[in-house]
């Protein structure tokens, strides 16, 4: 297949749209150098992206915009300089960029093609809940075809006027829902088999799906009996008068009489929560006034669920009967639907669990078709014939398998050929395959994996056709590599730091390197106050602090150090502040500290003062390198300005972000 044909097919798969843009701000030049121009439109896009979005950028001062433009022009000159030098053509730069593009590109493709559109669709569906009935036909001795024919016959009868509910009672093989006319209560997207879900959401209230729907359980006739806005979670309280399985009719009558009396009290204005505390038989909720917390649809038994979801906030239900007894239910709160951003990770998890694998396979199949994928039908038998005891990895390259069919074609795609040698070379980078004996099953799995990877990575080349943002993302990454290389060449590799320079820098800036007041102290830490007091008394009676610390302290890693914390700034923590209150050698009484008790001993005080050159060396080195870095950066920017002579039109910035 020719390259332009492949492009046309990929464009068809990705459904490419047209992108329009404003031309007026494209024509306004805010800066230029050596035939490179920065338009007002480009400036606005970059500025908004780096400063909190369009509206925030609109409110910024002109001075801030001018400063940003200076920085952006410096950045653009660096990129231009790097390309003129051929930095973008260096093998390590090309290799790093290609590797990044391949890895990120496949993830980007799957996210944009599969994940994003599907979770948006799922989000919209989940704004509604549907009450559904079905008639199920399981495969019989005649297999799936028999189940399908029986489903068609019953569906034809319903279309001729038979009652769906009666037919469900008579013919459905879902023996749980059949007695209820096929009713399976309320469902929402993401909770059921995709084919069943799609059929349900295609129907209006009262409609029956026009064809039997296939799932792994058989064939279904589907009817939607209700559609309404979904409440993700509700909060309710209840009062329960319990009925035990062994209850008599007399017990039931007494329970009904009691719940009726409670209902009357609620109607007369008595507090529902107080009545629940006093009279409810639900031991788990009565102490909190009957509060059941938040719950979702189908978490409670159906009569309770239905009654609770039909209430308004603050409303109390009529008497509800469940297998547990008689209830009065009060609705306390309804949670609203969250935004797409808030729900994104949850939706992604749902989609990946129930539908992603199938969609992923369909995408790969469509790309194989687009890239004219061809699999050599003889290769698996040939591999099995010559593989013998050959393993994936080093042993392959000296095997009979390689010698006899190493050059054989395994598969082709987009005018590229993958030979057996190529497959084995790729396999060496896959831990699941290395050093495993090659057989037909292993080889088939390996080829499927590599073919999938190949067509997905190839499709990355066509991503910009549908997603210009991907090109921008790749451009940003490549620019980042170029800037890093330039900084390395023009700044970091030119920094020279030796002892003479360090001492000179120390002498010039020594006032910066000061010690605060410090203390050297030791501590014995234990979990209980009684043990701490006991240890303190032992020390007071003459036992060595170091010995007691190595025996008793429970702070990890401090027994072997005899409790010594070293030298710390006085304000470093509670222990160092306590030590500062002591005289050298003095031990303080136990204090409460970090879920236990600490006994602190001051070893020595170190007053604030000047650091020596040796003490300040790490800071001096860092400071000098920063100074040198700034100097070299300035020299490089001066070179760029001198060479490329940028012209910056600050006056044009007044039009930035204007409507």
Judge whether 387 and 402 are in contact, CB under 8 Å. Answer: no
> Which pLDDT band holds residue 581 (cuts at 50, 70, 90)?
very high
Give the length of the chain: 659
Give the model confidence (pLDDT) of 372-404 as tens digits: 999 999 999 999 999 989 999 999 999 999 999
Indicate if the pLDDT at residue 18 is higher than 80. Answer: no
Q: Which tens digits make up the pLDDT trace of 619-643?
A: 999 999 999 999 999 999 999 999 9
Give the residue-averaged pLDDT of 333-354. Answer: 96
Res. 214: pLDDT tops 70: yes
Confidence of residue 2 (pLDDT cuts 50, 70, 90): very low
Task: Quote the pLDDT of residue 290.
Answer: 97
Region of residue 657 (left: phi > 0; alpha: psi -120 to 50; beta: else): left
pLDDT of residue 13: 42
**CA–CA separation, 100 and 242 (whole Å):** 64
400-441 pLDDT, tens digit each: 999 999 999 999 999 999 999 999 999 999 999 999 999 999
- Tell me the average pLDDT across 227-237: 96
Is the pLDDT at 17 greater than 60, yes or no?
no
pLDDT in tens, 26-55: 899 999 999 899 999 999 999 999 999 989
Helix H, strand E, coil C: the string for 78-101 is HHHHHHHHCHHHCHHHHHHHHHHH
Residue with more model confidence, 24 or 579: 579
Answer whether 0.75 is exceeded by the pTM: no
- Structural domains of the chain in order of their starting residue, each with its CATH number: 128-229 (3.10.50.40), 233-335 (3.10.50.40), 367-461 (no CATH), 514-610 (3.10.50.40)
| Residue with more model confidence, 245 or 294 | 294
**239 with 279: CB under 8 angstroms?**
yes
Whole-number average pLDDT of the chain: 93
pLDDT on residue 12? 41
Mean pLDDT in residue range 256-262: 97
Q: Among the residues of 111-206, which ranges form H helices?
A: 116-125, 143-159, 164-171, 194-201
What is residue 10's predicted lDDT score, i.e. its pLDDT? Answer: 43
| Residue 489: band (very low, low, confident or very high) from pLDDT cuts 50, 70, 90 | very high
Q: Tell me what pLDDT residue 317 has.
A: 97
The tens digit of pLDDT for each residue in 148-162 reads: 999 999 999 999 999
The predicted model gives 324-339 an average pLDDT of 97
Do β-strands 518-526 and 647-648 pair in parallel, antiparallel, or remain unpaired?
A: unpaired
> Looking at residue 14, what is its pLDDT?
45
DSSP state of 553: -
- What's the CA gap between 162 and 411, in Å, rounded? 56
Task: Kindly give, in sequence order, each residue whose CB lies less than 8 Å from that of residue 259, ignoring residues fewer than 6 positions away.
Answer: 239, 241, 319, 326, 327, 328
Average pLDDT over residues 325-352: 96
Residue 8 has a pLDDT of 42
pLDDT of residue 9: 41
User: Whole-angstrom Cα distance, residue 202 to residue 185?
Assistant: 17
Q: What is the largest CA-CA distance in the chain?
A: 103
Q: Region 471-496: what's the mean pLDDT?
A: 94
Among left, alpha and beta (phi > 0; psi -120 to 50; other), residue 86 is left
Helices 91-110 and 440-459: crossing angle in degrees, nearest 10, is: 100
The tens digit of pLDDT for each residue in 500-513 reads 999 999 999 999 99
Cβ–Cβ < 8 Å for 241, 281 = yes
pLDDT at 7 over 60: no
Percentage of residues in the chain with pLDDT exceeding 70?
A: 96
**CB under 8 Å, gap of 24 or more: what pairs does 561-565 form?**
562/522, 563/522, 563/523, 563/524, 563/525, 563/601, 564/520, 564/521, 564/522, 564/603, 565/520, 565/521, 565/522, 565/523
Indicate the angle between helix axes 164-171 and 143-159, nearest 10 degrees: 150
Q: Please say if the pLDDT value at position 244 is more than 90.
A: no
> Cα-Cα-Cα-Cα dihedral of 258, 261, 263, 268, to 10°?
-160
């Amino acid at each position: 297949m020719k390259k332009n044909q492949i492009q046309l097919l990929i464009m068809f798969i990705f459904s490419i749209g047209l992108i329009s843009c404003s031309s007026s701000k494209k024509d306004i030049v805010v800066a230029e150098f050596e035939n490179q121009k920065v338009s007002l439109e480009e400036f606005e896009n970059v500025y908004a992206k780096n400063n909190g979005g369009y509206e925030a950028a609109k409110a910024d001062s002109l001075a801030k915009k001018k400063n940003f433009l200076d920085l952006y022009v410096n950045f653009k000159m660096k990129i231009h300089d790097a390309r003129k030098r051929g930095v973008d053509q260096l093998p390590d730069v090309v290799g790093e960029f290609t590797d990044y593009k391949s890895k990120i590109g496949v993830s980007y493709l799957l996210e944009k093609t599969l994940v994003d559109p599907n979770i948006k669709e799922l989000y919209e569906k989940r704004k509604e809940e549907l009450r559904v009935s079905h008639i199920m036909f399981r495969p019989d001795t005649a297999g799936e075809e028999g189940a399908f024919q029986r489903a068609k016959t019953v569906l034809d009868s319903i279309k001729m006027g038979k009652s769906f509910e009666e037919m469900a009672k008579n013919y459905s093989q879902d023996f749980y829902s059949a007695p209820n006319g096929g009713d399976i209560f309320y469902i929402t997207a993401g909770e059921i088999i995709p084919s069943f879900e799609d059929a349900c959401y295609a129907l209006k209230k009262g409609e029956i799906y026009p064809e039997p729907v296939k799932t792994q359980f058989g064939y279904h006739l589907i009817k939607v009996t209700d559609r309404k806005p979904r409440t993700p979670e509700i909060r309710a309280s209840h009062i329960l008068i319990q009925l035990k399985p062994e209850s008599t009719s007399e017990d039931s009558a007494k329970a009904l009489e009691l719940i009726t009396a409670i209902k009357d009290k609620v109607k007369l204005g008595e507090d529902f929560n107080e009545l629940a505390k006093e009279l409810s038989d639900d031991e788990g909720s009565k102490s909190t006034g009957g509060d059941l917390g938040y719950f979702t649809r189908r978490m409670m038994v159906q009569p309770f669920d239905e009654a609770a979801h039909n209430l308004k906030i603050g409303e109390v239900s009529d008497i509800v009967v469940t297998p547990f007894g008689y209830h009065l239910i009060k609705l306390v709160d309804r949670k609203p639907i969250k935004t797409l951003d808030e729900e994104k990770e949850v939706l992604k998890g749902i989609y990946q669990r129930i539908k992603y694998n199938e969609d992923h396979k369909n995408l790969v199949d469509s790309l194989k078709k687009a890239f004219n994928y061809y699999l050599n039908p003889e290769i698996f038998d040939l591999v099995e014939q010559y593989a013998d005891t050959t393993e994936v990895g080093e042993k392959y390259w000296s095997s009979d398998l390689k010698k006899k069919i190493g050059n054989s074609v395994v598969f082709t795609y987009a005018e590229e050929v993958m030979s057996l040698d190529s497959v084995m070379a790729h396999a060496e980078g896959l831990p699941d395959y290395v050093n495993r004996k090659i057989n037909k099953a292993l080889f088939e799995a390996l080829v499927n994996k590599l073919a999938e990877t190949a067509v997905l990575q190839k499709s990355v080349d066509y991503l910009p056709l549908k997603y210009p943002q991907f090109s921008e993302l790749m451009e940003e990454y490549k620019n980042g590599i170029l800037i890093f290389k330039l900084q390395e060449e023009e700044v970091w590799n030119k920094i020279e730091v030796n002892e003479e320079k360090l001492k000179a820098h120390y002498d010039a800036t020594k006032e910066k390197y000061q010690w605060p007041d410090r203390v050297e102290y030791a501590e014995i830490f234990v979990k209980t106050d009684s043990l701490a007091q006991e240890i303190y008394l032992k020390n007071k009676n003459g036992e060595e602090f170091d010995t007691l610390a190595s025996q008793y302290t429970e702070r990890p890693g401090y027994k072997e150090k005899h409790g010594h914390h070293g030298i710390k700034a006085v304000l470093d923590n509670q222990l160092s502040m306590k030590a500062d209150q002591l005289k050298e050698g003095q031990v303080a009484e136990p204090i409460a500290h970090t879920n236990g008790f600490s006994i602190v001993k001051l070893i020595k005080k170190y007053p604030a003062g000047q650091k020596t050159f040796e003490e300040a060396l790490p800071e001096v080195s860092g400071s000098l390198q920063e100074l040198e870095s700034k100097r070299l950066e300035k020299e490089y920017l001066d070179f760029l300005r001198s060479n490329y002579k940028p012209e910056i039109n600050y006056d044009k910035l007044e039009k930035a972000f204007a409507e």
